[in-house]
Chain A
Amino acid sequence: MKPRILIVDDDESISMLFREAFQIAGFEVEFLLSGKEAIKRLQDVRQGDKEKPDLVLLDLILSDMNGIEVLKEARKYSETKNLKIYALTNYSNPEFNEELMKEGIDKILIKVQYTLEELVLLIQEAVKLK
């Protein structure tokens, strides 16, 4: 079965790019454009309406909220507590990162610092480890 990743990013061109790259690499890709949708998706997982993704790639600056709120929401409930969540962002700030770590982020990646090839490799490793 294909590994399923969920991308939460409000930038459409980036989402399109990632979807393409990950689909070619053999992932099942689902993407959401807002924090609200992401929280709804987590709720669906809890209620058993939708499948749990193997990995969430979460942007931190979303149009409707801060990515950290989505992370907190996921960590609040037992069903999604252990969900693997990577921050995939272009915003880095030590204080912010510290808060993310405290809230239990699994990894913080700066989008621009990786080539697609490197990124795909990283995610493949992450899903394999699961």
Chain B
Amino acid sequence: MEKEYLILSSVLVNFLIGLFIFLREKNKKIGAHFLASVLILTFWSLFLHFYHSQFGLNQSQWLKVITLLTIIFIFELLFFIIAVSKKRLKDFKFFLITFVFLVTIVILAFFFNGRIPTIVSSPPLTTFFLCLFIYGAWLGMILFEKMLKTADIEHLQIKSILMGFGVFITFVVIFNAFIPLISGKNFSWVNSALSALLTIFIAFTISRHYLLKSKAIWLELSIGAMGAILLTLPFLIPDYRLKILAAVVFSSFSFLGYYLIKIIREESKKREEVERIMKEWEKLNLAKDQFVLSFQHHLRTPLVPIKGYLEMILKGTYGREENPVIKEKLFEIKKLADTLYSLIEDLLDIQELRVGKKILNLEDCQVDNLIESVIEELKLSADGKGLYLNFEKSSLPIIKLDKKRIREAIWNLVDNAIKYTKEGGVVIATRIEDEKLKIIVSDTGVGMEKEEIDYFLKGQLFERGEEAKRLYGPGRGIGLNLAIEFVKAHGGRIWAESKGKGKGSTFLVEIPIG
């Protein structure tokens, strides 16, 4: 009698959940297919039980019904997948042809023999069902393929549906084939309960658009399953003292389980929120980059006449300027205009690299030569401060790089090192390690505290080191930022090491080669 209750309640649960999803799901097509699949699955498991108990009809008649229902289910599954994967029926030609062929044979057998041929005959899980199983797996594969192509929520939903079906089929096989074979007993009444569990599981995943990670779902389901097992214990144990103990265990587990699920829910919610904010942040960041780019025209335009007229004035187009002070100041203005120009161009370059509008101009490059040319250029400023500027050369192979940008990155690192060093000097070294080019710029300068390096690594580069700020006043954090962006664009990274304040800093560049 209990079995019948279980089956009846499973059918009811399936129907209600199917209806609920159908009414709530925004995509009406998917909702309808879900309801249809759930109903077919429910009746399938119900009829499998009737087949064993010979309720109303005889076994052979029930078998026909089950067989037909299975065929319908495979068709329904096909249309469900077409709806989900947004493919067309045309794409499933081969599947349809072979399946219709198989189905025709089976139906013909119904009419001509008046009974199902031996390949389909009892027990139900024989060759024919194996074929159906293969078709089901085929559709599963299509769904799996779709999963690989989608992302985020849809990906998780399909993954959960596949996992749900996988577990369901495994249990169906265990209860309908393995256990009956071993014990000789019939467990077909379990199928209804299994189908209800599957329905609950899939409904749960479909209805939660901001799906918690599937790990959380599994945890919740295991807690539920564990609770169900604990609940049956008091009924199974004959000893009443143990009964009480089991009941106590069940209640405390329920209590704990409730809080555990609550915590999981809260955590998942928080995580979803964080993910949402992260996405929002990325979107805003991109919008900001694009805004700067759309502004390029306005940033550059005033510089054209400034640079142009200065050029003409200094060339003497409007007459010779005799006053040496005015001449000197004009040259100073020209220098500053050029600085402003290169700052704007650098800024735009970074933005374009960031939004993927500009790509690297890769060419064969002798990095040692590149560094030597940087040293040559910066030697004067090092000499001026009485600093040494050494290069520990290691003969590097030719590497494909964006010459201009990598040179600029190195230039900025060395320039910074000189700027923030009062005595001692700067050493540059190169080497190849694990298929990566490493460029190391060490100085004996102001050094950095751990927090400052952390700041640096987190990309808050305009925060110059506290000591540097105190000692040297305003400077250009943008040089470092530029170096980082250019190296990043090569798939590499820059980081810094320092033993602390006054103990110098080392900047390391790492770029994958080949």
Using CB atoms and an 8 Å cutoff, list the residues of chain A in contact with chain B. Answer: 11, 13-14, 16-18, 20-21, 24, 61, 89-94, 110-113, 115-117
Contact = CB atoms under 8 A, between A and B. Distances in A.
A115 B303 CA distance: 11
A14 B305 contact: yes
A117 B307 CA distance: 11
B311 A115 contact: yes
Contacts of A111: 300-301, 304
Nearest to A14: B304
A106 to B, nearest CB: 21
B300 A116 contact: no
Q: Output the residue of A18, A89, A110, A116 with the most chain B CB within 10 A.
A: A116
B209 interface: no
Interface string B275-307: 000000000000000000100110011011101
26 contacts: A11-B301, A14-B304, A14-B305, A16-B305, A17-B304, A17-B308, A17-B309, A18-B308, A21-B308, A24-B317, A61-B297, A90-B297, A90-B300, A91-B297, A110-B300, A112-B300, A112-B304, A112-B341, A112-B344, A113-B345, A115-B307, A115-B308, A115-B311, A116-B311, A116-B312, A117-B311
Chain B contact residues: helix, strand, loop or mixed = helix
A117 B312 CA distance: 9
B358 interface: yes
Nearest to B299: A90
A93 B308 CA distance: 24
Contacts of B311: 115-117
Given A14-B304, A111-B300, A20 B312 contact: yes
B462 to A, nearest CB: 24
Q: Which 7 A-B pairs have the closest CB atoms?
A: A90-B300, A112-B300, A91-B297, A13-B305, A17-B308, A111-B304, A90-B297
Given A24-B317, A116-B312, 20 more contacts: A11-B301, A14-B301, A14-B304, A17-B304, A17-B305, A20-B317, A21-B308, A90-B297, A90-B301, A90-B304, A91-B296, A91-B297, A92-B296, A93-B357, A111-B300, A111-B304, A112-B304, A112-B307, A112-B344, A117-B311
B333 to A, nearest CB: 15
Interface residues of B, number: 19
Interface string B305-338: 1011101100001000000000000000000000
Interface in B340-362: 341, 344-345, 357-358
A94 B352 CA distance: 10
B324 to A, nearest CB: 24
A111 B358 CA distance: 19
Contacts of A92: 296
Q: Output the residue of B293, B296, B341, B345 with the most chain A CB within 10 A.
A: B296
Contacts of A90: 296-297, 300-301, 304
A12 to B, nearest CB: 10
A61 B295 CA distance: 12
Interface string B235-264: 000000000000000000000000000000
A94 B293 contact: no
B8 to A, nearest CB: 63
